[in-house]
Amino acid sequence: MIIGNNVIIEGNTVIKAGIAIGEGVVIEAGSVVDTDIEPFSIVAGNPAIVVRRLQ
């Protein structure tokens, strides 16, 4: 697992093995992350999907 700088991971979040999370990502509470997340994204859900880009 690789987690970039300035990442916010809210409570009850599951991140599966081998996942890369880019810089500046926000993962909403209760999300299940099973794919790599691009930098500066907000993700939510089960499975987690990008709901908004920050740039």
For the chain, the structural domain boundaries read: 2-53
User: What CATH number matches the domain at 2-53, 3.40.50.2000, 3.40.50.970, 3.40.50.920, 2.160.10.10?
Assistant: 2.160.10.10
Predicted local confidence at residue 55, as pLDDT: 80
Question: What is the identity of the amino acid at 19?
Answer: I
pLDDT tens, per residue, the chain with 55 residues: 899 999 999 999 999 999 999 999 999 999 999 999 999 999 999 999 999 998 8
Question: What is the identity of the amino acid at 46?
Answer: N
Predicted local confidence at residue 21, as pLDDT: 97
Can you read off the two tokens belonging to residue 38?
A: 């691009």
* Placement of tokens 């930098």 in the chain: 39
Predicted local confidence at residue 20, as pLDDT: 97
Sign of the Cα pseudo-torsion (30, 25, 36, 18, in order): negative
Distance CA 30, CA 44 (A): 8
